Amino acid sequence: MSDTKDKKPLSLSGSSKLEMKRPGEAAGQVRQSFSHGRSKTVTVEVKKKRGAGAPRKQTLAEAVAVRMPPEAKAAPAPLVPPAEPADKDNKGRVVLKALTDDEKATRARALEGSKIASVEARKKAQEDASRRIDEEARLAVEREAAEKREAAEAERKRVEEASRKKAAAAAAVRLGEPETEEEADARQPKPGVRPEIKRPTPPRPRAGERRRGGKMTMSQALDDRERTRSLAAVRRQREREKRQARTGESEAPKKVFREVAIPDSITVQELANRMTERGVDVIRSLMKMGVMATVDQAIDTETAEIIVTEFGHTPNLVSSADVEIGFRAGDSNDDEGDLALRAPIVTVMGHVDHGKTSLLDALRTTDVVSGEAGGITQHIGAYQVTMASGGKITFLDTPGHEAFTTMRARGATVTDIVVLVVAGDDGIMPQTVEAINHAKAAETPIIVAINKMDRPDADADRVRRDLLQHDLVVEELGGEVIAVEVSATEKTGLDRLEELIVLQAELLELKANPNRSAEGVVIEAKLDHGRGAVATTLIQRGTLRLGDIVVAGTEWGKVRAMVDDHGNQINELHPGEPAEVLGLNGAPAAGDELGVVDSEARAREITSFRAGEARDKDVASAATARGSLEDMFTKISEGDTNLFPVIIKADVQGSLEAIRGALEKLSTDEVAISVVHGAVGGINESDVTLAAASGALMIGFGVRANAQARDRAKRDKLEVRYYSVIYNLVDEMKDILSGMLEPAIKETSLGQARIKQVFAVSKVGKVAGCEVIEGTVRRGAKARLLRDDVVVHEGVLGKLKHFKDDAREVRSGSECGIGLESYQDYHEGDIIEVYEVEEIARTL
């Protein structure tokens, strides 16, 4: 109760404000409230005010407290448990109450925490003060550096201005104009005056506008009101000014002159990009030259060179064909010491069924003929024969059928020696003459092998005499052409033939450098199921190894495997050796040159250029043949020409070429074969779909259709014809075209009759009374009425009477009555010619 009575009510001071007195004004107790309804009374210490005297020196603690951050100042002091109120004795004296151990421990912990917090606050305040001092020092250094840069920039501008005025004064003196005193004074820099450098300040946004932030919307972009510069733009400008002041660069960048590569054709925009000029400026220059072009339009090399020179750059004319420079270097870069002897490449040529492949079988002691359909060679086979002496000869076996002209020409081009096989019983035949012409065109030595000398009707002397008609004079007749008599079945004369080939190779001195990148030619190419594109390749120089990146025509790839003519896998392919190369991304064309490049990028560059050239060539050939094609389609639409479409899938590229050429030869003005699609590989479902859509005949040469293609062909009722011998295919296509030809009309005259008198018969009309003057007049035959040797009417002899009786025919010397169907305008003296028409089937 005493505590309650001693408490005074809370009231306002004299200023009518609710406030607490400052420390030291009066002593008192403050009651502290805690959570859960707890409260304690705390005695407030009374401090007296310091008297007004001399200001004392600030202590380190006070200085630290001043620099303390607000959050450190606002942190509350650790809570110290208030002291328990003292008890009083009977005399009113204060008796101190003893503290318990728990209270002592609590007070000790509170004091320790207070000390730790005080030390941490002091340390943090010192760190902040140190950072602030460092920041002020750094800013001072930067300000001093900026002032120095500004002074240097002002000095540089002053010197430049003085130099300019001096040069202007000198020019005025040279021109005879006196310089005024004011101009002279103006040229002299004033001492102690530094030109002021004004920095561009960003414009402030107008009232009511805010600076744009974030992405620009369409409405903002289309707004016509003036937009303020962004903070990023201002910042970039300031950085640019600082960089220019630091490096001493001028405001306008210097123009860089370049060497500009100009290809065969280049667009205006591409030319501008290579010169780093604006496309508008290039178009303006072209317009001055009288050339109207857009940025996407291509210009020629001469115009581009003039434009590049006008802009001050250096033109460098390059051709798109330069990508092939160095692809096949030939033997020009080889030193004589690097060359080594290589195996001769011998091509066996001749007429079909004259024993070319049989002769090779005898040399290789193998049976290749049994593997060829129909007993004829339809592919260029490449084989290598090792003789008893250890030497090697590479043989190329070419087809002899007339359809394989291109393949024979290809074989004669890549060969060193041509062995012309002539059958002793047949002599010189058409394909023999063609082989001779190919060998002469390639300037290749010829060795004549007179085969089938085991037959009784073989005559070697007749063959030698027949060769004279084609400018081939054998040694027996005083010439230089070597002829040897052989028999493939009896294996006679083969040793002599090998000796002559080796002798001829020694005279030619066939050498190649094996220590270089491989170069060769593709003899044949095909798509093999499971192995991909397979190219039969003959290496002419260098060595081909596994992993080499090769380019063949428009195809390229990395060599994955090589298989020789005996089916063995090899790791290297030397000059003069043939093998099947696997790894190309597609089947190249037979006859394409093969070479090794250093990288895949180089391979892609060459093949893309060649593919573009092939497309341009196809477009040009199509444009050239457009007139003939339009004429042909016009004839087809008018019914004058019948078109027979076909789709061809062949096993190898050479067979496809031969079939195309043979079918083109069958076409005439009346009937023609159109090859809708031709490719290498088996027949798939898409081929059948294309054949069904175009109404074409599906032809498979040496290939078959897969299961899906067979089902689709059966469902669409499409005929698929398979062939393995080319002359069977050509004969059947010839028969089909022959059936499409209009039959020939053969007219046979039967007789003539002269009209002597015209009779009018009731219910019948007019009837011509005639006398048969030649042959026989037959009822139902065709007849024409001649008046003064001019055909007046053609029709059918409908009525024929001998006196009053109907007659089937009336012979010469008799009189008869004749009536033509649907015609009655007869005159005396007219001639009626009776004939019959016969249709005869035509053949190509």
- What would the pLDDT profile of 417-459 be if each residue is shown by its tens digit? 888 888 888 888 888 888 888 788 777 888 888 888 888 888 8
| CA separation for the pair 445, 482 (Å, rounded) | 9
171 inside domain: yes
State pLDDT tens for residues 102-160: 888 888 888 888 888 888 888 888 888 888 888 888 888 888 888 888 888 888 888 88
Instruction: Indicate the number of domains in the chain.
Output: 6
Calculate mean pLDDT across residues 274-302: 89
List the 392-397 sheet strands across, edge first: 381-386, 392-397, 345-350, 417-423, 446-451, 482-485
Identify the pLDDT of residue 625. 44
| CA separation for the pair 398, 455 (Å, rounded) | 24
Please report, for residues 252, 296, 521, the alpha-carbon distance to residue 282 in angstroms, rounded to integers and kept in the order given: 21, 12, 46
State pLDDT tens for residues 484-513: 888 888 888 888 888 888 888 888 888 888
Give the pair of three-digit tokens for residue 172: 């005025």
Given a contact cutoff of 8 angstroms between Cβ atoms, the answer to whether 432 and 402 are in contact is no
- Domain stop point among 718, 740, 762: 740
- Domain stop point among 686, 717, 740: 740
**Judgement on whether residues 571 and 717 belong to the same structural domain of the protein:** no
**Judgement on whether residues 467 and 585 belong to the same structural domain of the protein:** no
- Select the highest-mean-pLDDT range: 39-53, 327-341, 465-479, 619-633: 465-479
Domain carrying residue 272: 259-318
Rounded to the nearest angstrom, the gap between the alpha carbon of residue 450 and the centroid of all alpha carbons in its chain is 51
Residue owning tokens 């390229």: 556
Taking the model in full, what pTM does it have? 0.49
- Residue from 271, 300, 313, 255 nearest 280 by CA: 271
* CATH number assigned to the domain comprising residue 434: 3.40.50.300
Identify the pLDDT of residue 253. 62
State pLDDT tens for residues 382-397: 778 777 777 788 887 7
620 inside domain: no
- Domain stop point among 684, 714, 740: 740
Identify the pLDDT of residue 404. 47
709 inside domain: yes
> Is residue 479 over pLDDT 90?
no
654 inside domain: yes
**Judgement on whether residues 419 and 532 belong to the same structural domain of the protein:** no
Coil, helix or strand at residue 468: helix
Please provide the average confidence, as pLDDT, over all residues in the chain: 76
State pLDDT tens for residues 757-773: 988 887 778 889 999 99
Any residues with CB less than 8 A from the CB of 777 and at least 6 apart, and which? 750, 751, 753, 770, 797, 800, 809, 810, 816, 818, 832, 834
**Judgement on whether residues 528 and 473 belong to the same structural domain of the protein:** no
> Is residue 164 over pLDDT 50?
yes
500 inside domain: yes
Identify the pLDDT of residue 9. 56
**Judgement on whether residues 164 and 311 belong to the same structural domain of the protein:** no
**Judgement on whether residues 282 and 375 belong to the same structural domain of the protein:** no
**Judgement on whether residues 177 and 309 belong to the same structural domain of the protein:** no
247 inside domain: no
| CA separation for the pair 449, 718 (Å, rounded) | 48
Q: Which of 230-234, 408-412, 773-777, 801-805 has the lowest mean pLDDT?
A: 408-412
> Is residue 399 over pLDDT 80?
no
Identify the pLDDT of residue 223. 62
| CA separation for the pair 805, 575 (Å, rounded) | 95
Identify the pLDDT of residue 424. 85
**Judgement on whether residues 728 and 640 belong to the same structural domain of the protein:** yes
**Judgement on whether residues 731 and 757 belong to the same structural domain of the protein:** no
**Judgement on whether residues 375 and 498 belong to the same structural domain of the protein:** yes
Q: Which helix (H) or strand (E) holds 98?
A: none
Question: What is the band of 14 on the pLDDT scale with cuts at 50, 70, 90?
Answer: very low
Residue owning tokens 């069924």: 353
End-to-end CA distance of the chain: 144
670 inside domain: yes
Identify the pLDDT of residue 373. 52
Given a contact cutoff of 8 angstroms between Cβ atoms, the answer to whether 474 and 483 are in contact is yes
Q: Which residue has the higher pLDDT, 454 or 46?
A: 454
**Judgement on whether residues 759 and 732 belong to the same structural domain of the protein:** no
Question: What is the band of 366 on the pLDDT scale with cuts at 50, 70, 90?
Answer: very low
> Is residue 60 over pLDDT 50?
no
State pLDDT tens for residues 221-256: 666 555 667 888 888 888 888 887 777 655 556 778
- Residue from 598, 600, 684 nearest 649 by CA: 684
Identify the pLDDT of residue 412. 56
Q: Which residue has the higher pLDDT, 207 or 567?
A: 567
| CA separation for the pair 456, 247 (Å, rounded) | 103
* CATH number assigned to the domain comprising residue 698: 3.40.50.10050
| CA separation for the pair 208, 400 (Å, rounded) | 96
* CATH number assigned to the domain comprising residue 808: 2.40.30.10
Q: Which of 22-31, 347-356, 426-435 has the lowest mean pLDDT?
A: 22-31
15 inside domain: no
Question: What is the band of 786 on the pLDDT scale with cuts at 50, 70, 90?
Answer: very high
List the 671-680 sheet strands across, edge first: 671-680, 642-650, 697-701, 720-723
**Judgement on whether residues 544 and 646 belong to the same structural domain of the protein:** no
Give the pair of three-digit tokens for residue 784: 């024409």
> Is residue 677 over pLDDT 60?
yes
